[in-house]
Amino acid sequence: MSKPTYTVFVNQRFPDESANELLARSLAGHKVVYSRSLTTSNLATSSHDPAIDEADVAFGQPDPAAIMAAPRLRWAHLTSAGWDRYDREDLRAAMTGRGAIVTNSSSVYEDPCAQHALSMMLAHCRQLGASFDNQRGAKGWPAGPIRRESRLLTGQKVLLLSFGAIARRLVELIAPFGCDVVAVRRRPAGDEPVKIIAEAELDQYLPLADHVVNILPGGVATQAFVNAQRLARMSPHAAFYNIGRGTTVDQDALIEALNSKRIAAAYLDVTTPEPLPPGHPLWATANCYITPHTAGGHHDEFHRLVRHFLENLKRFGEGTALRDRVI
């Protein structure tokens, strides 16, 4: 029995040429249509290309309006874990109305992002930032104060803002530390391994947390979700982490909370804008530690993105459930 063949629209080109070659080689039995405006970033969508209208499958970061209108499109696979550009009622209605599917790449990014968050949490507990600041600055030997401020992650309280694939993996990674974990989720699935609370309950849990980990997606519903009022509810010894989207945080309020010592520290992998301009006050804010949107990065990231898509393409041809389905 011959394998099904599809017209595959591709609008992304990876920085790693060997990943592009793997994709092209693996799709040799299909008709591949490359967009005239290829994007190299998971954070940007390309402009509408009419070539998508002949496609059965789209791979990359296709224009949301284009995948809604594409008459033959049965499946769109996104090369990102975030999918807030596509989390729209009109797109959801258009795709489900014709039995089409949207998948993302959460499986590729859940481990690196969760490990990144864990590394930040441990760095905060063990006061690595203070030691590194001393190394780059005074070069003294402040063993006493650093030892006194050091903590164990063991048994601490962790509040997760959102509970998707990354948060679920983070819960698995911190399990050996015996942390008390609570998560906020808009639509509980019922199978979560931690206590789930509604947004309306957040104010009563914020003061209890040692670590507040923001993994919220972007979009209108989460704009400035972490605002001055919520930061004011946090404990002065608590740390805030953002590996979701920069737009979910009121950064002016965060700077004020850090400068006034209303919270102990902030660890940010995402900001708004990105790249963060060299003169932005976040760079110089005390106890604010920034990584340049690298939480999802890993040496074989682009190969894993291709292999994840190819696995789903095989499942698609077999009529079995696709991984990381979001619509």
Q: Are the CB atoms for 262 and 287 separated by under 8 Å?
A: no
Please, what sign has the CA dihedral across residues 169, 173, 176, 177?
Answer: negative
Report d(CA 103, CA 74) in Å as an integer: 11
Q: Would you name the residues annotated as active-site residues?
A: 245, 274, 293
Single-letter amino acid code for the residue at 156: Q
Calculate the dihedral angle through the C-alpha atoms of 135, 136, 138, 144, rounding to the nearest 10 degrees.
Answer: -30
The two tokens of residue 146 are 């650093």
Q: CA–CA separation, 207 vs 202, rounded Å?
A: 9
- Helix pair angle (17-26, 301-318), 10° resolution: 10
Q: How far apart are CA 223 and CA 240, in angstroms?
A: 17
What angle is formed at CA 257 by the lines to CA 253 and CA 259, rounded to 5 degrees? 115
Contact 267, 123 (CB under 8 A): yes
